[in-house]
Structure formats: C-alpha cells, structure tokens
Structure 1
Amino acid sequence: MVQHPHSRSHTSIPTRKSSFFNTPIVPPQPDVYYVGVDVGTGSARACLIDTNGIILGLAERPITRHELKPNHITQSSTEIWNAISYCVKTCLRDSGVDPSEVFGIGFDATCSLVAISESTDEPIGVGPNFYDAKENIILWMDHRADEATNQINATGDKCLKYVGGQMSIEMELPKIKWLKHNLPGGINDCKFYDLPDYLVHKATGSEARSFCSAVCKQGFVPLGVENSETGWSKEFLLSVDLPELVEDDFRRLGGIPGKNGTFLSAGDIVGKLTPQAAEELGLTTECIVGSPVIDAYAGWVGTVAGKADIPHLQDNADGTIETACGRLAAVAGTSTCHIAMTKEPCFVKGVWGPYKNVMAPGYWLAEGGQSMTGALLAHVLSIHPASQELNRLAEASNLSKFDYLNLALENLVQDTKSRSVVSLAKHMFFYGDFHGNRSPIADPRMKASIIGQSMDNSVNDLAIQYFGACEFIAQQTRQIVEEMEKSGHNITCVYMSGGQCRNGLLMRLLADCTGKPVVIPRYIDAAVVFGSALLGAVAAEESVAEHVNSKGRSRRNSILNSQKSQVSLGGSTSGGAHSPYTAPSATASTANMSTLVYASANAGSLHQFPVMTPMEEEQVDYFNQPTQEQLAEKEAKNANITSDDDSEDEQTLSFGSQHKVQQGLSQKLSKLGLKPLSSIKKTTSDTSNAPISPGDKLWKVMEKMTGPGKVIFPSADTHPDRVLLAAKYKIFLEQCYKQQEYRNLVDEVEQQNLKSVKG
C-alpha cells in the first residue's frame, strides 16, 4: 500500500462538526462509556463513546509493515498491541473519562494471520527472516502462498462453496500451509489466529474465536451447514497435508464448538480484561470484551442502523436484526467491500459467502468487493500529464484535488454549453479494473480499458478522465448489486462509509447508477472504529443494566474501588504518550469532543442533514448534496477559523479531512471555559422482561447509538442523466465481458502456436 501526498481540504471545522454531530443530543449517562479498537493495514485507531453513541475521544497511531522479500509482507503483533494501548490511553486522557466508567471494549482488525507459540504464548517469526520473532503476522495482502492456494482449491472441498467457490491467496489456510513447509521445525509448536481473534486473546487470555474470522477466512463451516458436525473438516485438512491442524480436535484453530472450543457471533461476551491487559490499556479488569469482527464488518455494524428518511426503511423496521436485511454496507477505502445480510443463504457468483452466524445466529452475510476504488482515483490522477499542474492549482485554491476537479467539471459544462456533467463525458468509456476483479466476475487477470482518450494534456482532460473513473466505480457497484439481487438478495439502499463519502460527484453517481438511495453516516471516517465500540457496548449491556438498577452499588463498583490505586493512565513506556517533538504525525489525530458535543447541543447549534428530492436537486448543480456546507463556511469565516492540511492514511484516499477532524479544537474549547459533564440521574431504557435473541440485542444497540445519516436519493428513472448512465452501463458490461472473450481468443491462438513450435 502506498502513502499518497498530503492534500489540503477547504472543509471548515463547523462543517466537520456538523458531519459528526448532526442532531440534538439526548442527555447522556456520563458514567457509562465504551471503547472501540480498529487495526487497519497502516494504523491502529481507538475511539471512546458514551451511551448515546457520541464519540468523545478519537486517536490513531501508525503501524509498520515489512517486505524483505517480494510478496512476503509482515507485521508485528507486539507493535500493534502497543499502538492500541497508546490510542486507548489517549482517548481516555483527552475525553477526561475515568477508566472505571468504561464498561466494554470491542475490537476489529484486518484478516491477517498471527502465529503464536503454544508452549510460551509468545510470537513466532513467519519469515522470510524466521529469526525475527517479533514479525509474527503474515499480512492479508501477502501473496507468498500462491502454490499452496492452488493446491487447496484443487480439492473442490465443500467448504470452498462458502468462500465464493475458491479460497483467496489472502485467506489463512494457504498461509498456514506455506508455513508448514518453510518454517524451521514446522508448525508443531504453533497455534494460529486471525488478527481480530488474537487481539481478543491478548486482552482476555481466552481461546474463543469469532465466527467472523473462522467462517469468512479460515474455511470453518458452522454446525449443521452441509452436515458439518465439528466446523472444521478433517478430510479436507488431511487432503491438503495439514494433519497438524487436525490434532486434538483442531486445537490449533480454536477447537470444536461446544467440545474444546468456543465460537461467538459479533458482540457476544468473551470475558473481562486480564490484569496485564487492563494495565496496558489504561482500563480496569471489570471492562468486558466483546467478540470481534474483521474490519469491513465493523463498518457494517457502524452504519446500517443509521436513521434515514427513507419510507420503506421505516416501514420494515420491526426492532429485530432482520431489519438490516437488504441494507448494503459499502465500506470504502483503497478498495471497497460490499456486505449484505439475508435470512436464508444466497449463493452469488463472484461474491464471498454466504457466511452463517457471523453477525447473528441464523443469519447469513455475503461479501462482494471492488479491488480498487480510492486507489483507482489516486492512480488516475497520478499518471496523467497534468497531475503536477492539478496539485499546484488545488493548493493555490486551498481545495482538495477532488474538490478542484469537481469545480473544473462544473466550469466545463458552462464553457462547452453541455447539458450536464454526465453529458460532458458521454464519449468517455472507462473500465477501471487495473488490479483485477474481485466481484462479481472474480477474475484476477482483468485489466483496465479506456475508450475516448485524446492527446489533450490539460487539467480539463484530467477532469474528464477522473469523472470516467468515478462513473466506473458506480457502474461496477450496480453490476455487483444486480448479481446479488439475481441470487436472492433484495438490496433496498446503500450505506456508505469512508472518506469517499465527501465526494458529492461520486455519491450522486452511485445513487443514479444503482437506482438506490445512498446513506452517508454520521461518522464518515470513524464508522469502522465506531462499529467496534458498539461491539463493546453489546457485550457490556447486562453489566450496565445491573449498574444502573443498583444506582452504582453493584459488585462491579466494589471491585473497582479496590483496583483504582492500581490503574494509571501513564502506563508502561511502550504505550505512554510521546514527547511532542518525537510523536508520530498521526498521534496528533486525537479528539476531545465531549464538551463540544453537549455544549453545542445545549446551545441548539447543531445542524440537521436535510433531505432533498431529485426535483429539488435539479435546481442546484450536480455536485451539491444535501449538506450545510455553505452555512458552515460562512460560520467559519465569522469565527476566523481556517482549515488544516489533511493527512491521508495508507491505502485510504481522503476526499477531505480524514483524521485531523478535531485538531486544535480542544485548545479553542478551553478558551470558552467549558467544564466536563456532571453526573445525571440514570434511568433504565428497557423495562421489558421479554427474552431477546443475541442478534436482536446487537441490533438494539446499533439502532440506539448509530444516529442519523444523510440521504442521497437517485434521480427519476426518466431523468436524462439516468437514461444516459443506463445506456453507458450496457457499454460497461460489454467492456467487461468482451475483455475476457478477447483474452481467451488470443490465448487459444497462442496455445496452437506453442504446439506447432514444439512439433
């Protein structure tokens, strides 16, 4: 993954404030909080939320990766844990929350393989330098196990049916098979975790595993599916020469459910923090840990329960997790994952899954994806001859590159007297699978094809190609949605997350190409880490209820009173705060938001996201979405607040402010003399004694805490832009499938040529 140059955003602090807090806030219960932890490829993040789902603290710290040999990409679980510790302590410090008031913590992470010694519970080096034990993670993007992957897929085992028909080289079993044949001494002293499960093991000491990791990435087939009795297949593992994984009822993989292993759905209780983990995180041993999920699935948790003014969403809301069926979560960064839930299994060609029990017992999830979205736009900008000129003009205008290009397109419409922006690019046919296709044709050999290029080297030409790339992303999303619907999904709307949400052009194209409403979440950049915090809230629900009902006189509090002298935010050297002279740049990405949120709420200064009909949107330009940007910019000028440079996370393309949302805000608030919240009388939110299923318990928390989103409705079917995009979709499909046809034709000819040469 490549870091992109910093770009400057013109997004003002009031605009950013409204994107985070866009509805009046219900009075909080200030002594009940939850922490979320998200480990991406390039950084670890943590957030702290209250019982209303308001983020009061947000911190990030970079993590490194090494590629000492091509396709061998590793990380250190020790470094990652230290980064997590730093971020959690920073959130506590900046929010002013007492560690004893944090009731739950949730984790998400990339689906990377962690190797640990069974005998010592310490890291084991995974190569290419096997003597470096700290490098014990084979990163998801590591492609060393190509031969092992082919051997696994050649078995045709039934478990492959549930991972899209074949295992990806990015999944865990190919990596384990590679280690067996390359690790000195083999894997006899190894146990293996998907990274989210390892973090929970580190936090609790438990060997419990999540259905999310085991089912999605390790070939686990839940009990009862395909007559599975153990989850793992002895015959399959023996057929791929991995008898070590079969030993003692699959102990190295977490065991058999109900026998020697525990497998949990999202947010189920794993246990409490160990004394060591509590000290390192700056929390207490009464903090409850929820079962984790892979990072993209945390994006699903953090978005799909968002309130949106869409009639059919309100009509179908029955208070159970089945409400989430039909809501497609698009978790966007460098690539985009598309996750949807169904009550019954739906097998979709080119889409991973269906995965059972991942979010809730009895429900199935499917995962589609685009290999390049944010990275595609970055690539298009970087290879064009006008790239440097764009950088100069955007910097001079104090705009992000994407905002500048959107403005350039608006001006081009006027200059060329074109009907609209879509019409402006009517002869640009852009097919952007530069890095292969993940969904829906699952062809890693796919490449890009662009029809309509000229010798024009201007920024205006770059703007047209940029539009073509945005249109490609939207048309391919339509292709994925249509394939899912053909197989039984009923997709009603798309819930976006990630920095791409700030690109009004891209969001409008997604709505108009798919014909589905697009919902932008309250927390654009923090949706994933927010989702992990909700997992902690779900796990701690019973503990919170006991605390509230006992008015703080619970057994938990008596235990905490004896621990308080042992808990310190200072912590160990590895997790403590850096000197301001040596702190990594990302550590500036912290937020003390509590005083801002509730002070603003009390003053009534928060802005609601309005919803515009297509007819209303026709009266503004193609890029203006229903936001309060103009009002916020006016407020910013009055307050004499200027925007900051925005850093871009590795493998994530930012379309505005990505992480420095509240940089410098704490200092401004301190000048206002705002004080921390005082305690408020607590009330129980649910007096019903009716039983609630684990999935409904998760949904209840998601609905309560997720908050409202902004809705972008598609234009009418008869709108000229919709009609034009529909026509171009036919061309898009031809570009897709004709490429495969052409490639096969040429390959057949070359095979004959080789035979004749050999003959």
Structure 2
Amino acid sequence: MDYFIGIDVGTGSARAGLFDENGRLIANQSRSIQTWRPGPNFVEQSSDDIWEAICTCTREVVAESSVNPTEIKGIGFDATCSLVLVDADGKPVTASPDGDDRQNIIVWMDHRALAETERINSSGDFSVFSFVGGKISPEMQTPKLLWLKNHLPESWRRTRHFFDLPDFLTFRATGSTTRSLCSTTCKWTYLAHEAAEGRSGWQEDFFRAIGLKDLAEEDFARIGTEILPMGEPVGQGLTETAASELGLVPGTAVGVSIIDAHAGGIGMIGMPDKSEGPTPADLENRLALIGGTSSCHMVASPEMRPIPGVWGPYFSSMIPGLWLNEGGQSATGALVDHIIFNHGATEAMIQASKEAGITPYEVLNDKLAELAVGGPLEELTADLHVCPYFHGNRSPRANPHLVGMISGLHLSAELTDLALLYLATIQAIAYGTRHIVEAMNASGYAIDTLVCCGGGTKNPVFLQQHADITQCKLILPAEPEAVILGSAMLGAVASGNCSSVQEAMAQMSRPGKIIDPQTESSTYHDAKYRVFHRLYEDQLAYQSLIKDSVARKTEN
C-alpha cells in the first residue's frame, strides 16, 4: 500500500492528513496559526509560523500512523489565496505597516486595497475582466500588489518573489519557484486558455495600465515564469532540509499546489452517486460547496461560460481540460460565529455548552428544535431577516462595499433570541447560495446537486436549510476531510500512482450521506428569498438617500 499526505492551510489553522491509495484517512492533525490585524480591513499572517505548524502536524501524523516514511510516496499542498512576500534568500519581507518582517502575508480576506481595486476596475477594457466575472475583487492579488507598491515601496523593492500561499509552500518544500495554474489563473489574472494556445498567459498591457509595469518589464519573473497544472511534479521533490523538518524522505514527490477551496472541489466533485463516476457533462449538474470562514461554490463544464459577478471562467484551474466557474460568499462560517459569539446571550450559550458537553451550535440547534415543537422550524424566522453581506458580496453582486443588515430585533437578548438570529443567519447564507446557483443556471448549467464539505456542512440545520432553500440534493463525501484529500490526490498524481487528476478523483473519493430537499417549505422560503433581495435593494436606497443629502449640502 502506498500513502500520500495532504497539507491544508486555512484561514485559522494548518492541517496534515495521511491517506492510503484508496483515499481512506489514516491520521490527521491540526494546529492554529497566528493572525495580526494592525488596522481596519488589515489581516496578516506569517509564512514562518505557517511552515512550523505544517511541520509539526506532518511529523505527528507520521508518528500517529506508524507508517514508514518510505511508504509515503507523494505530498500535496493547498492553502488560502493569500499573498506572500520573500526576498532573494527566501526570507520574509514585511507586508505590514507595522514593519515586522514576520508579518509577510496579506490574507485573502484583507480588504486594505479597496481603492486600488476601484482603480484597476476603471483602468480600461481588458480581456482579463472577461475571466473574473467582470470585476477584479480585493481578494485577488493585483490590488494587493498595487497597494504594496504605493504604500510600502521598500518592501516592494526588497521582495524577490510574490507567491500565492499554496505556491510558497511548494517553494519552501522543494526550492522550486514553480507556480500553480490554479493560483495564477484564479487570483493573478493569468489566462490559462491563452497559454494553452501557445501565447503568453500574462497580459502585459493590463499590468502596464494598472500601475504594475515593473512586473511586465521584468518579464513577470517575480510572479511566475514556470506555471504548471496541478499535480505535476515540482522540482526534484522534497529537499533534504524540508524532508528533515517534515519527518519525511528527501526526494518525496511534491505536486503542483492548489487553492484550498479547489482542493475540496477535486476531493469530492468526482465521487459517484451511481455505479460509476460522473462524466464531464454530468458535472454541469453538480456544484461543489466548500464551507469555512467563507464559502466557495465551484462548478465545471466543457464549455466556457462567462457569468457576471461569478469568478471565471477559468480554464483547467481545478479539473484539467474543463472550465471552472467559481462563486462565493465572503463570510459564512465567520458570519455565523460573529453572530453567536457577540450577543447578549453568548455567555448563556457557552455555559449551556459546557454543562451539556456539546458544542455551542448543538445548544442552538436543540433550542430551535424545542421552539419548533408543533410547527415548521424554518418558520420561526417569519419576522426576522438577515442580509449576510457583513464582509461585502463576492458573488454574484461582486460588491465588496455592501454591509450586513438585520430586521426584526426586540428589546430582549435571551438564548431564544440568539437561536432565532442564528437560524435567520444560516437561512440568509443559504439564500446567497440559491442566488449563486440561479446565476449559474441562467448561463446554461443545470445544477440540481450540491456536493458539500467543510465548515457548516457538519451542521444538520445548515445542511437541511441549504437543501430546502436551493431545492438541490446534497451529497456529503464519505471522507469528510475532502480538502486535505484533494491535496493528497495531487501527491498521488505527482508520484505517478495516479496518471491524472481525473483518475485520482475517481480512485480516491466516494459518497457518504445524501440529503434530499423538502418541498413543504418552498412557499415560505420563496417569500423569504424575496425579502433577501429586498434587503439589498433597500440598502442601495438608503445609500442613495444619504448620497443625495450630502450632495445637496455641498451645493449649498
């Protein structure tokens, strides 16, 4: 039996998982990672801290499993699409106004570059905009790069390599500066379909127009000249130094990396729900929902389908040979936690959790079940509505300036109030998913199935509300750690154990629980969904009223 390790770096933790060649998890470990917030909209991390957490997890996984490191044939890395700065010696370069070199990562959710994002989006009519849903997002890398050039010129000068975090990890493991087709296409405006036709994937006119001509004049050396598909072998495998730090064997194959959500996509979207796996055409009915701090909504097609407000279409950036459309919600798990841990009844919830030996989410689920005796649970929120744009909207409105809203509050803050607000928030997130699915289906998809992993997908209330609100069947993978499984698949491909990503998907993933939507609540959710859209429209109306008032005052 051959074994493979998947490494995943999320927003709050790093994880390692050891899998056999059939995709069965043997052992896994997790470690938290440090985050700095030096100002509003600033979120920073440390590449040294993350690498140390990865090494600790990997050594512990190997020790726990008792698998001989010589039997571990490949390793794959995934991570958030965060920006990493290193100098010519591979040492950290500060990305922080604090000036501390340890803080050398601008996290994906950092919105410091809103002004730069607006500047880029108004820079002209460039082809790259057709492949990011029409607008660059502040979660992408070009606004962050422009911010660094404008505000931290010394860091801009010192930095030899700007990496997406997944690519930094393969660099740290192998010494190779190879970049991933996934990261560069989805977050750096590299046009993979152009490269596939023998042309340059980097669009020089775009970089010159937005104020990053330095990168074009350097032939893009600082952001990537060797860009390979996911799972291709990187360099000569693990260096002696990295192997020693990880507790593995030098030369162990390392696969070209992938973004964390995309790892979850390959970790489960190809699993069969019949006797054989889905064909590429069948995938047009499936959306991969990867939950966490935020949520990503991935769907693949043999055809290119531009969708306003939905990232992509990206060629070969998740499944080789297929086009990817990527929707998303900027705050989902983070939003639920913000709601439940910043409420007048938070302490009561935590105390009940400790006394019962269950999670705070289970406390709230139990309270909802108690409140719903004699009636439908979903209708408990008839007078309570949430607009979930607390960190802007990623898809399909593509507006990072939107804010959250709550309608229907009372002069009380008991556990009952918190449970109802928690349910209304989950429903709002599910309405956001429905909005994304509708936008995708309007472009030619026929999505009727969600394959789900991560975050809230371990919560039965979250799952059933998503099924009922979207009227889609939900398939949960038999291996719930689908993200690290997806990374392990890349190690299997790099080692030669699997000949392709598609073969790894078929060989190493399998379905678990299936949740069918209930139709009885459709009329109620249709009404709530109209409220969901009305909240957005009202927000725009409020903004317009204030803007008009300020304009009149200025005129006077």
| Aligned equivalents of 1:736, 1:142: Cα separation in 2 | 23
Give the Cα separation in 2 of the matches to 1:185 and 1:453: 47
Which residue does 1:724 correspond to in 2? 524
Whole-angstrom CA distance in 2 between matches of 1:441 and 1:169: 14
Calculate the TM-score normalised by the size of structure 2. 0.92
Aligned counterparts of 2:13 and 2:54: Cα–Cα separation in 1? 9
- CA shift, 1:248, in A, is 4.7
Cα drift, residue 294 of structure 1: 0.8
Q: Which runs of 5+ in 1 are unaligned?
A: 1-28, 256-260, 546-693
Which stretch shifts more, 337-346 or 234-243? Answer: 234-243
Name the TM-score, length of structure 1 as normaliser.
0.69
Answer yes or no: is the 8 Å Cα contact 1:43–1:63 preserved in 2. Answer: yes
- The answer to whether the 8 Å contact 2:307/2:443 transfers is yes
C-alpha distance 472-253 of structure 1, shift in aligned 2 (>3 A): same
Matched residue type, 1:446: L
Q: Any conservation in 2 of the 1:326–1:342 contact (CA below 8 Å)? A: no
Q: Cα deviation per residue 1:560-617 (whole Å; 9 max; x = unaligned)?
A: xxxxxxxxxxxxxxxxxxxxxxxxxxxxxxxxxxxxxxxxxxxxxxxxxxxxxxxxxx
- Aligned 1:4-19 pairs, distance under 5 A: none
User: 1:6-45 to 2 correspondence within 5 Å?
Assistant: 29=1, 32-45=2-15
Match of 1:711 in 2: 514
Q: Measure, in 1, the Cα distance between the counterparts of 2:33 and 2:372.
A: 44
Decide which moves more: 94-103 or 702-711.
Answer: 702-711
Judged with a 3 Å threshold, the aligned counterparts in structure 2 of structure 1 residues 191 and 712 are, in CA distance, closer, same or farther, namely: same
The answer to whether 1:273 aligns with 2:238 is yes
Is 1:377–2:177 an aligned residue pair?
Answer: no
State whether residues 271 and 506 of structure 2, in contact with CA within 8 Å, keep that contact through their aligned partners in structure 1.
Answer: yes
Task: Quote how far apart the aligned CAs of 1:491 are.
Answer: 1.3
Which residue in 2 is equivalent to 1:566? none
Root-mean-square deviation (Å): 2.5
* Residues 179 and 187, structure 1, Cα contact 8 Å, conserved in 2: no
Length, aligned pairs only: 553
Structure with more relative contact order (C-alpha pairs < 8 Å, separation 6 or more): 1
SS state of the match for residue 314, structure 2?
A: strand
The equivalent of 2:48 in structure 1 is 78
Report Cα offsets for 1:490-535 as digits up to 9, x if no partner: 21311111241232122111111111001122333x2212211111
Q: CA deviation at 1:450?
A: 3.1
Residue identity matched to 1:733: H
- Residue 76 of structure 1 deviates from its aligned partner by 2.5
SS state at 1:743 partner: helix
Q: Structure 1 74/183 Cα, relative in aligned 2: closer, same or farther at 3 Å? A: farther
**2:63 is the alignment partner of 1:93:** yes
Residue identity matched to 2:266? V
| Distance change (3 Å), C-alpha of 1:374 and 1:188 | closer
Residue in 2 that maps onto 1:625 = none
Tell me, in whole angstroms, the C-alpha distance in 2 between the residues paired with 1:186 and 1:499. Answer: 35
- Summarize deviations over 1:129-181 as a string: whole Å, max 9, x none: 44x44433222233333333332222132212212222222322222223334
Does the CA-based 8 Å contact 1:302-1:530 persist in structure 2? yes
- For residues 135-284 of structure 1, what are the structure 2 equivalents within 5 Å? 135-156=103-124, 157-181=126-150, 182-184=152-154, 186-187=156-157, 190-224=160-194, 229-255=199-225, 261=226, 263-271=227-235, 272-284=237-249
Q: For the residues of structure 1 that align with 2:39 and 2:522, how far apart are their CA atoms?
A: 48
Bigger radius of gyration among the two: 1
Q: Is the 8 A contact 1:188 1:244 kept in 2?
A: no
Distance 1:227 1:150 in 2: 31
> In structure 1, what is the Cα distance between the partners aligned to 2:221 and 2:132?
22
User: Which residue in 2 is equivalent to 1:659?
Assistant: none
Task: Indicate how the Cα distance of structure 1 residues 314 and 511 shifts in structure 2: closer, same or farther if over 3 A, else same.
Answer: farther
Q: Which residue of 2 aligns with 1:493?
A: 449
SS at match of 1:37: strand
Contact 1:495 1:521 in 2 (8 A): yes
Alpha-carbon spacing, 1:236–1:46, altered in 2? closer, same or farther (3 Å): same
Show the 5 A alignment for 1:429-468.
Answer: 429-468=385-424
1:317 pairs with 268, 278, 293, which one? 278
* Greater CA drift, 400-409 or 742-751: 742-751
Contact kept? 1:520, 1:710, Cα under 8 Å? yes
Task: Tell me the distance in 2 between the aligned counterparts of 1:702 and 1:500.
Answer: 23
Code of the aligned partner of 2:507: K
Paired residues for 1:353-752 under 5 Å = 353-414=312-373, 417=374, 419-524=375-480, 526-541=481-496, 544=497, 697-716=500-519, 719=520, 721-752=521-552
For residues 301 and 227 of structure 1, what CA distance do their matches in structure 2 show? 25
Matched residues in 1 for 2:201 and 2:35: separation?
Answer: 32
Conservation of the 8 A alpha-carbon contact between 1:335 and 1:370: yes
Tell me the distance in 2 between the aligned counterparts of 1:123 and 1:187: 13
Alpha-carbon contact 1:63-1:83 (below 8 Å) kept? yes
Cα offset, 1:736, TM superposition: 2.4
Deviation at 1:71, TM superposition (A): 4.3
Determine the C-alpha separation between the residues in 1 that align with 2:443 and 2:540: 23
Q: Residues 276 and 391 of structure 1: is their aligned pair in 2 closer, same or farther, counting only changes over 3 Å?
A: closer
CA deviation after TM superposition for structure 1 residue 105, in Å: 0.5
2: distance between equivalents of 1:138 and 1:409? 39
The change in CA–CA distance for 1:459 and 1:65 in structure 2 (over 3 A counts) is closer
* 1:65 maps to 2:35: yes
SS of residue paired to 1:34? strand
Q: Does 1:305 align with 2:270?
A: yes
Counterpart code for 2:51: W
Between the two proteins, what is the percent identity of the paired residues?
Answer: 38
User: In structure 2, how many angstroms separate the alpha carbons of the residues matched to 1:148 and 1:466?
Assistant: 35
- Is contact 1:222–1:228 with CA below 8 Å preserved after alignment? no
Aligned residue identity for 2:28: L
